[in-house]
Structure 1
Amino acid sequence: MPELPDVQVYLEALDRRVVGQRLERIKLSSPFVLRSVDPPPDAVFGKTVLGVRRIGKRIVLAFDGAFFLVLHLMIAGRLRWRDPGGKPGVGAKIVLATFEFPSGFLLFTEAGSKKRASLTVVRGEDALKALDPGGIEPLEASTAQFQAALARENHTLKRALTDPRLFSGIGNAYSDEILHAAKLSPMKLTKSLNEEESGRLHQATRETLTRWTQWLRDETGDGFPEKVTAFHDRMAVHGRYKLPCPVCGSPVQRIVYAENEANYCARCQTGGRLLADRSLSRLLKDDWPKSIDDL
């Protein structure tokens, strides 16, 4: 799922292409993508894009008349840009909607069959605010605000960082990278953090998100981000199970749960202790290794 750095680079690319442009029409290719009825999509036909912004992991296009188009990419949704006369470059089956501007075409696509990506049309700031889960902006929050958000509920750090009610724009990938940079276990409880640890986590959050935003920005240049993915060779632990940690060389570990997994370095983050995997540790029981040195 595109997270804060990915969405920020999308916004910058959109700003260069559609702000100040008139939306001529929207072609809906999938009936499932539209999640609102009133106002209808054609309410923004002929309207001018005044700006773009982010709400959590959602992309917002603001139009004159106080109309907003809200795109939620979810896991497999992506945006692609095609200049006038250019070839689509994607299969028609994955295109959910096409936004037609004088400057080109914005394609809203989604791979797979789950169809979770969505388009919502709202009018007015209050209606837009209702779509905001309420998490603080991690790059704008002070250390005190960050610590207060962590202390609201007693969850694991992994769950807290990815909770949109607490923090805006952080998901599975960058939470792994943040926790590795902070040298903290993904399973450590928020209310067990001391002041030094929570301060370290705040600093790691800011530095990780800022660094990745700049890397993605440099990679995209003046183009449009076409290869948005949760897996990058530069990542320290996310998606790197069994590969060496770039800091200590120990194999990266994982915990699998539901449709997600947490990746971590046992030596850097848990003092060498292996975290119990809900499926494998129960299956292996006494044979489950307790330490990275037992592997």
Structure 2
Amino acid sequence: MRARSAEKEANEGEPRWAYLRSTWEELHRFAKVHGLSHATCIALKKTLDALTMNETDQEPLKFYKLENIKPSGDLLADARKILAEAERLERVDWRHARRNRATAISLGTAVPARPEDVHKNHVFGKGLFWDADTGNYRFEYRPQKTCGTVAEPLRIPLNPEYGAFIDAVILQDQDRRYLGDLRAQAIAAQRPLYVNYDGSPCAYGWYSRQWAAITGTGGQIARTVIYDSFASEGEFGLQYAKASTFHKTDAIPEKYRSMKSKEVSYRTAQDLIFANRSDDDYADLI
């Protein structure tokens, strides 16, 4: 509700130029492909350029939603609580559902995948792998949005703490001594990471609904949250955010960074300047 309130306020008094720009972009593309007159294409392009300029001056709606969403570390803490609470629920299907939700939120803080990739690639033995040598899981797959243009896969090894969530959705109510066998079965069967209590794959929209239950908006917001959360870590943090979202150019991350994120980066850089100074540098000024 809080995110929707911020969204409503952001829409008051001014249209969302991004919506209009995307509409005119498709109209312009349609006109060119279907051979409409040159004058029509020019007119559409002129309007498209104006809308693009207006969009540049308007803060994206997702940044308004961020105002009421916790940073990645706090979301991970919430996921831990959900996982712990699952053990105390009376019904087995409720416990199953809560473990799924906890895992969806936790992994979204490490690898904020698009819902389409969660549905198609977060699958044991297909996009999610177990490294027996290290005892850790890793994601490795070609994201759906860029698989036709980028040959390089997304490859992110996971911290063991994230692995504990994955183990939980494998085990559910089974004894931990069966984990190895159940994991091997899931990999051999290429089982989706998220399945319902009856064993069927969770629906396409399931992932975003889990995020909406916790943050008030869908799973796509995780890709913006990670940039805000890692801004204080300097270049290292931003590079991780870029890698985990599979943004291959420097231009794309700019669209996911709020002004708050940029201001945090500026403060971090200035703090680093003062942290690296020598007190002797000021001796002659006193």
Give me the TM-score of the superposition, normalised by structure 2.
0.26
The structure carrying a bigger strand percent of its residues is 1
The two structures have a TM-score, normalised by structure 1, of: 0.25
